[in-house]
Amino acid sequence: MSRSGPVVCFGEVLLRFATSAGRMIADAASLDLVIGGAEANVAVALTGMGHPARFVGMVPDNPLGAKARGALAGAGVDVRHFASGPGRMGLYFLETGASLRPSSITYDRAGSAFAMAQAADFDFAEALDGARLFHVSGITAALGPGGVDLARAGMAAARAAGVPVSFDCNFRERLWSAWDSDPRGILTDLIAGADIVFGNHRDMTLLLGRPFSGDGPERRREAVEAGFAAFPNMQVMASTARHPLTQTHHRLAARVDRRDDHHQTAEVEITDIIDRVGSGDAFAAGVLTGWLEGCDARKMAELGLAMNALKHSIHGDWLRLPRAEIDAFTGVGGDVRR
């Protein structure tokens, strides 16, 4: 396996339509449009950190699909395995919160080209040739039985190719509840095949059927150790601890656990938030950057925190900052750079 090969990200690219801050969808005369989607967000952020990323997915063969493909290609992501097929473009609508009113997301993804795709529509073996890592999330499985099959097929192909698997739980209640799903059973099966897992004590409570507390670093380690015991293949578990005060003021810490090493950062204050959506994917990209570079748990957590925190300052789903900006992160603001 090539040490310089790409990270292969598999999932659905979406169009995001968002209101301006403080405006409800019912009162909106216009909506802002950007390209989003969890796995695409990770691919873009990794590319910015100097690690090549290859995207595998499906969009309709129309101008909307072309826009998504062009945006990813423009961000430096390899889109040669980004297929086109029948169906429509998946959408989501973001009603941007303000003050003490939280933001809300409405999905419109049924019947999309990706949701209707079958595993045979993707040449996973070719896409994984020379890859260093395969990344997928629980959002794909949450789309329905077909999504479960897609996630399983991609992960199985990665294992067959000897490529490590990164899995982000990304639990989305509104997607899982839209069909007769078994999130505990499905996610347990998928995580069993992952080397790197993005999840927290709440995810472990769901998967293992026992309560865990997120109060304090040692209590969080308890959930991680239970996860390591239940999932022998898992080598890394990463999570964040977020404390929202208002829609534009959060406190955030990051944690990375390995079987023999762990670190939880101090909290940073994030104020004047522009856009929180995609920050978890930026965190994943930071942790994966550390993993790709052979870093310890401390450095992986610090990179994840830096990328997560800085994403809050950027409009849209994507973190597109040069590596130097990430490496210069201190957790406090600064003056104009001249």
- Identify the pLDDT of residue 1: 35
- Identify the pLDDT of residue 2: 36
Kindly state the average pLDDT of the residues 92-101.
89
- Identify the pLDDT of residue 238: 97
3-class state of residue 211 by DSSP? coil
Output the CA torsion sign for 217, 219, 220, 225: positive
- Identify the pLDDT of residue 219: 75
Which pair of tokens denotes residue 136? 């997928």
**CA geometry: angle at 74 spanning 139 and 303, to 5°?**
60
Is residue 90 in a domain? Answer: yes
Mean pLDDT is lowest, of 214-223, 277-286, 323-332, for 214-223
Kindly state the average pLDDT of the residues 232-248.
94
Nearest to 143 by CA among 166, 177, 167, 194: 177
Domain that holds residue 67: 7-235+277-296
**Is the pLDDT reported for residue 235 higher than 70?**
yes
Nearest to 203 by CA among 182, 219, 218, 188: 188
What total of structural domains would you count in the chain? 1
pLDDT in tens, 108-151: 999 999 999 999 999 999 999 999 999 999 999 999 999 999 99
- Identify the pLDDT of residue 333: 66
Q: For the chain, what's the residue count?
A: 338
Mean pLDDT is lowest, of 165-179, 250-264, 283-297, 321-335, for 321-335
Is residue 108 in a domain? Answer: yes
Stretch (H or E) spanning 128: none
Give every CB contact of residue 131 below 8 A, 6+ residues apart in sequence. Answer: 1, 5, 6, 7, 8, 54, 158, 161, 163
Is residue 332 in a domain? Answer: no
Is residue 328 in a domain? Answer: no
Is residue 303 in a domain? Answer: no
Is residue 271 in a domain? Answer: no
What is the β-pairing status of strands 32-36 and 53-60?
Answer: unpaired
Average pLDDT, the chain: 93
Is residue 20 in a domain? Answer: yes
Is residue 145 in a domain? Answer: yes
CATH value at residue 44: 3.40.1190.20
**Which is higher by pLDDT, 338 or 316?**
316
**Is the pLDDT reported for residue 218 higher than 80?**
no
**Is the pLDDT reported for residue 96 higher than 50?**
yes
pTM over 0.85: yes
**Is the pLDDT reported for residue 71 higher than 60?**
yes
pLDDT in tens, 312-324: 999 999 999 999 9
Percent of the chain whose predicted confidence (pLDDT) is above 90: 87
